Amino acid sequence: MIDKELLRQNLIQILKTQRNNALHAADSAHDDATHEQSVAETQYDTVALEAAYLAHGQSQRVADCDAMINRLNSMVLRDFGEDDDIDLGALVTIDNRMTCWFLPICGGYKLEHDVVVITPQSPLGQMLDSAELGEKLEDGRVITDIR
């Protein structure tokens, strides 16, 4: 049996690693942008400007990771039964081969037990949203389990 709390912690750890990498890159780009050797010598010398843009982008990535971590931590994880429609938080098995975790964020991440995060914005997520156990999807695959 797949434990959703362990999956959440696995996903949060991935996000924390990405956050730390982005933070390090932002710090490095900020240092490059403010370094004395980055001062523009001509109007075409844009090293400092490019480093500042990079630092801003990496800082935004840090903020995005923080927001995703907070959203995941605040999610109430519930179990789904055979009579429930698929909704956010559901673990869905398709054709007894592919297991998806239907979440509002982090689409495409692959977690332990070969679980793939699917969001409602994705084509598969649109098919899964409110589907039921045993339902045949538009692409011909069948929902074989909901947890």
The model's pTM is 0.84
pLDDT tens for each residue of the chain, 147 residues long? 799 999 999 999 999 999 999 999 888 877 765 656 655 566 655 666 777 788 788 889 999 999 999 999 999 999 999 999 999 999 999 999 999 999 999 999 999 999 999 999 999 999 999 999 999 999 999 999 999
58 shares its domain with 28: yes
99 shares its domain with 68: no
Q: Which residues have a Cβ under 8 Å from the Cβ of 125 and sit 6 or more positions away?
A: 102, 107, 118, 119
Give the total number of structural domains in the chain.
Answer: 2
104 shares its domain with 142: yes
111 shares its domain with 66: no
Per-residue pLDDT of 23-63, as tens digits, reads: 998 888 777 656 566 555 666 556 667 777 887 888 899 99
**Domain limits for position 21:** 4-74
